[in-house]
Structure 1
Amino acid sequence: MNILAIGAHFDDVELGCGGALARHVAQGDDVYVFVATVSGFTNQYDQSVRSNEVARVEAEAAMKIIGVKEMICGDFKTLEVEFVDSLNIQILKLVESLKIDTVYAHWTGDIHHDHQAVARATLHSCRHVPRLVMYRSNWYHSTTDFRGNFYSDITDFWDVKEQAIRAHVSEMDRTGAKWINFFRNEAENAGQRIGVKYAEVFEVVKWLQP
């Protein structure tokens, strides 16, 4: 199968579906990743937190760890992504040229501005893809409940996921590696619900059994 994971920023797919992607690679599927933004950003005091160049280098290292066949990068600025036709067209062209069977997308209920815009664009542009599930890549509250109802056993791939997350050294330094603890706990809790050690859980938009 040809798999496409779509994220707003470098590190989103690693956090949200990195284990599932590593599992796909191990099964022989071709995995592609599209990231909409250049992913550098400044804080509220106009201080640079991560440059575009650093973000890209870290992402390339993470993709190599997972085994992604190709990472395709958009040129939107961080926090300036909108649900516009230029984004829709980028995604649609990838879906058609790569003959994508399955898509991993941001959750539409995510309150992060960029995540929400990319989620809407994905649902719009992947309307003819037979399988699409949504992931969460942060811990922010939303007024909408994430209805996780589709699981991927990542017990054998948690270490790959963690290494890919840790490849984002600038983010690890900024957050004190809090993402690792949070997502490990999420994976343990999801795994407990289905009787495995670690799992990722997704919300199904559509799933045509291959």
Structure 2
Amino acid sequence: MANIIVISAHPDDEVIGAGGTLLKHVAKGDNVFWLIITNVFEEHGFTKERVTSRQQEIEKVATMMGFKETFKLDYPTMQLHPGLLTEMVPKVSAIFGKVQPEIIYVMNRSDAHSDHRVVFDAVVACTKSFRYPYVKRVLMYECLSETEFAPALPEKVFIPNYFVDITSYMETKLQIMQVYESELGEPPFPRSLSNIKALAGFRGATVGVLFAEAFQLIKYIDKD
């Protein structure tokens, strides 16, 4: 049994990028925790109904995924910037200290959305082995509508080198994704059920299974 944490800049990142993998962890008996960095608020232009429905979505997804505990930092969505790192890093660090995750799943460092990039920097700051000796693996996940729209530059490319067979969890992942109804669209919109399944099919074909999720491994420490 291992402690796992997945970080979402926004709710839905976790299901799109690692939903099947996280379900697999839960099925194996691992403790899976969820850290959500941003939230929506009326004072930032969201309706009262949307604020309420967002919290309901989070609760429903957490239950369906089988997460052990959900943490929220409640930063306003679409307003993260590097200047917040000095306060964000200690908050992430405190949660890691409580959870002591062996495996960390975080969004890709060069996603098009600036919120994703800031969150990545905050999370990676909390993976130094001399301060977080329990961390053994750090993996970046890809997020449709963000990862593929990063600038087409060599240093920005997501390089998948770690694949998880999610064939047994594909349909459940899609069912859970439908909780985020307002985030979904019809093809060719990237965040559609058919495109989520298509990406999983492509990643699976790469490694000889029906459906897979792909990650970029950025740290692997092999120790007891």
What is the TM-score of this pair, normalised by structure 1?
0.90
Q: How many residues align?
A: 206
Conserved? CA contact 1:104–1:133, under 8 Å: yes
Letter of the 1:31 partner, please give it.
V
Question: Which residue is equivalent to 2:171?
Answer: 159
What's the counterpart of residue 134 of structure 1? 140
Change (3 A) 1:40 1:107: farther
CA contact (8 A) 1:149 1:202 kept: yes
> In structure 1, what is the equivalent of residue 19 of structure 2?
18
Asked whether the equivalents of residues 40 and 53 of structure 1 are also in contact (C-alpha less than 8 Å), the reply is no
What stretches of structure 2 of length at least 5 have no aligned partner? 130-134
SS in 1 for 2:214: strand
For 2:174, the aligned partner's letter is E
Q: Distance in 2 between matches of 1:33 and 1:111?
A: 22
In structure 2, what is the equivalent of residue 115 of structure 1?
116
Cα deviation, 1:113-164, whole Å, max 9, x if unaligned, reads 1111101111112233221000111234212211010001101111221111
- 1:145/1:68 CA distance change after superposition, 3 Å: same
Rounded to whole Å, the distance in 2 between the matches of 1:114 and 1:170 is 19
8 A contact 1:188–1:199 mirrored in 2: yes
What is the deviation of 1:50? 7.6
CA distance in 2, matches of 1:202, 1:183: 15
Secondary structure of the residue aligned to 1:109 is: coil
Letter in 2 for 1:184: K
TM-score, scaled to structure 2? 0.85
Is this contact kept in 2: 1:105–1:134, CA < 8 A?
Answer: yes
The answer to which of 132-141 and 153-162 deviates more is 132-141
2:30 and 2:210 mapped to 1: Cα distance? 23
Per mean C-alpha deviation after superposition, the further-off stretch among 102-111 and 138-147 is 138-147
Pairwise CA distance, 1:19: 0.7
1:125 aligns to 2:137 (yes or no) = no
Secondary structure, aligned partner of 1:202? strand
CA–CA separation in structure 1 for the residues paired with 2:182 and 2:49 = 7
Correspondence list, 1:26-105, <5 A: 26-39=27-40, 51-83=50-82, 84-105=85-106
Contact 1:10 1:39 in 2 (8 A): no
Q: Kindly tell me: are residues 132 and 49 of structure 1, through their superposed partners in 2, closer, same or farther at Cα, counting changes over 3 Å?
A: farther
| Contact 2:89-2:125 at 8 Å conserved across structures | yes
Q: For residues 47 and 63 of structure 1, what CA distance do their matches in structure 2 show?
A: 22
CA contact (8 A) 1:134 1:202 kept: yes
**In the alignment, does 2:182 pair up with 1:170?**
yes
In structure 1, the gaps of 5 or more residues are: none
Instruction: Indicate whether 1:147 and 2:144 are aligned.
Output: no
Contact map agreement 2:108 2:141 (CA 8 A) in 1: yes
Greater Rg over alpha carbons, structure: 2
CA distance in 2, matches of 1:47, 1:2: 34
Q: Tell me the secondary structure at the aligned position of residue 51 of structure 1.
A: helix
Question: Residue 59 of structure 1 aligns to which amino acid in structure 2?
Answer: I
For residues 37-71 of structure 1, the C-alpha deviation after alignment (integer angstroms, 9 at most, x for no partner) is: 1146999xx67598232112112111211111111
Does the aligned pair in 2 maintain the 1:7–1:105 contact within 8 Å?
A: yes
Instruction: Give secondary structure in 1 for the equivalent of 2:125.
Output: helix
Q: Distance in 2 between matches of 1:199 and 1:41?
A: 38
